[in-house]
Structure 1
Amino acid sequence: MYIVSQPKPLTDEQQLRLSQVNAAIAPPGYLSFLQRFGEGTYRGWMNVQLPDPEVLKPFAEYDLWEHDGNSPITQEQIAQCVAIGTTVDGDFLAVHPPTAQLLWLPRHADQIKALSLQPGEQDDEETYAFVMDEIYSWVYGSGREGGVYYEPWTGSRNHMFLRLPPGEGQLSLEELSGMCRLAFPPDFIEESLYSCHLFYQELGGYVRFNYANGQEAAIMYEQDAGQTCKTMEGWLLSKGCQPI
């Protein structure tokens, strides 16, 4: 698994919160994953967070989900759930300590689901990465393609957005990303039909090309990598990009 930037160590208070989690209820590898890598985003999809017993309590008062005979918990029991992750789409991953269930509370569906995971051979940080991939396959019906990476929340991330305007004789974003990886060989690449991420340890981040949009490029970087960012920005401007 590629780690985008230096993880931010957990504070003593955060370590205490984590130590109070029942390891028998938490998903395999969840505790050791957070202890090693800290909070962050896995593969641009799942936000791995410290356990939060408060965030779901207000949802017990809203009729967001159906609670029939197929529901693993009642509406009132939502207040007992401890959130351990969210997706970029707004879904919740939570544990329900009284019943020792791992639950999926979807943003765009009306049924809460209990997740049954295959037991891992060992309980380490890599195990939780496999767990999240298994959840993705269950939610979307297929495995997630592309590279495996984790983006720690450092609190010192900066960003810069640029636009590649359309025009006769102008490069496409796909062509630009190909040229960029030749000019600046990346440490890791994640590419799909919709986007391309070129990762650089020197940046503590990546250069992103939004193929779906067709015009947007962005540089995500740590505060102490400003000079490297300026070098890449200058190169992108020389190829026709414009700052936003």
Structure 2
Amino acid sequence: MYIVSQPKPLSEGQNQMLAKEDASVFPPGYLRFLRRFGEGTYRGWMNVQLPDPEVLKPFTEYELWEFDEDSPITEQQIGECIALGTTVDGDFLAVHPRTGGLLWLPRHAEQVMAISLQTLDQKQEDDEMYALVLDEIYRQVYGRSQEEAVYYEPWTGTRSHLFLRLQPGQGQPSLSELAEACRADFPPDMTMETPFVCFQFYRKLGGYIRLNYAYGQEVAVFYEQDAQQTFSFLKHWLLSKGCETT
């Protein structure tokens, strides 16, 4: 798993809180993953967060989901759930401590879903075990596996960004051509490319360049504040290729 930037260690208080938690309540590897990598976003999809027993309590009154005899929990039990994270679309991943169930509370669907991890070898002690759990959750929820690169973006609190726009015009490169030129001039540590977007990751940047193929013009640079020299170099190069700051 590629780590985008140096993880922000948990505070002493956060570590003490996790030490008091009953590990059997949580998915395999979840607590180990947090201790090693801290809070962050996995594969641009799931926000991995400290366990939160409060955030879902108000949802017992919202009537967002339908419940019947096949539902893994009752509507009132939503308030007892511990949230482990959210997706970038607003779905919740949670556990119910008394039933021991791993739950998916979707933002745009009406049924709470129970997640089964029976196919995984839960005896592994690797710090990245929870990444396998998240991949299995994705497969069950969306009916397919993620094929793109495996990466984790820790929330450092010191990351900055710059948005640029590639000006269209005669003689100007397309975004895909710009991505190819960037790979040639500044070989990235890892690349992830789809028909819609291209990420080029750089450890010296503590971040990445994102080229938004879907819109055809947007370029964004995400970097750590202590990587100003590398950032300035890449910014100058992008400006020389026809990009403008927005």
Please report the TM-score for the alignment, with normalisation by the length of structure 1: 0.98
1:169 matched to 2:171? The reply is yes
For 2:20 and 2:57, locate their aligned partners in 1 and report how far apart those are by CA, in whole Å: 19
* Residue identity in the other structure for 1:25: V
Q: Shift of residue 191 of structure 1?
A: 1.1
For 1:136 and 1:169, locate their aligned partners in 2 and report how far apart those are by CA, in whole Å: 42
Q: Where does the alignment leave 5 or more consecutive residues of structure 2 unmatched?
A: none
Equivalent residue, structure 1, for 2:84: 84
Q: Shift of residue 124 of structure 1?
A: 2.8
Q: Shift of residue 25 of structure 1?
A: 1.7
Q: Deviations over 1:195-241 (max 9, x none)?
A: 11111110000011011111000110000111211110100010000
1:50 matched to 2:50? The reply is yes
Structural RMSD (CA): 0.9
For 2:25 and 2:136, locate their aligned partners in 1 and report how far apart those are by CA, in whole Å: 17
User: Helix, strand or coil: the match of 1:220?
Assistant: strand
Q: Deviations over 1:61-113 (max 9, x none)?
A: 11000011111111111000000011001000000001011000000000001
For 1:80 and 1:133, locate their aligned partners in 2 and report how far apart those are by CA, in whole Å: 25
Structure 2 counterparts to residues 1-244 of structure 1, below 5 A: 1-117=1-117, 118-120=119-121, 121-244=123-246
Percent of aligned positions with the same letter in both sequences? 64
* Residue identity in the other structure for 1:43: R
For 1:74 and 1:192, locate their aligned partners in 2 and report how far apart those are by CA, in whole Å: 40
Report if the CA contact (8 A) 1:17-1:51 is conserved: no
For 1:213 and 1:18, locate their aligned partners in 2 and report how far apart those are by CA, in whole Å: 42
Report if the CA contact (8 A) 1:28-1:124 is conserved: no
Q: Shift of residue 119 of structure 1?
A: 3.6
User: Helix, strand or coil: the match of 1:176?
Assistant: helix
Greater CA deviation, 118-127 or 40-49? 118-127
Q: Shift of residue 157 of structure 1?
A: 0.3
* Residue identity in the other structure for 1:51: P
For 1:16 and 1:193, locate their aligned partners in 2 and report how far apart those are by CA, in whole Å: 44
* Residue identity in the other structure for 1:95: V
Q: Where does the alignment leave 5 or more consecutive residues of structure 1 unmatched?
A: none
For 1:16 and 1:79, locate their aligned partners in 2 and report how far apart those are by CA, in whole Å: 24
For 1:101 and 1:146, locate their aligned partners in 2 and report how far apart those are by CA, in whole Å: 29
* Residue identity in the other structure for 1:7: P
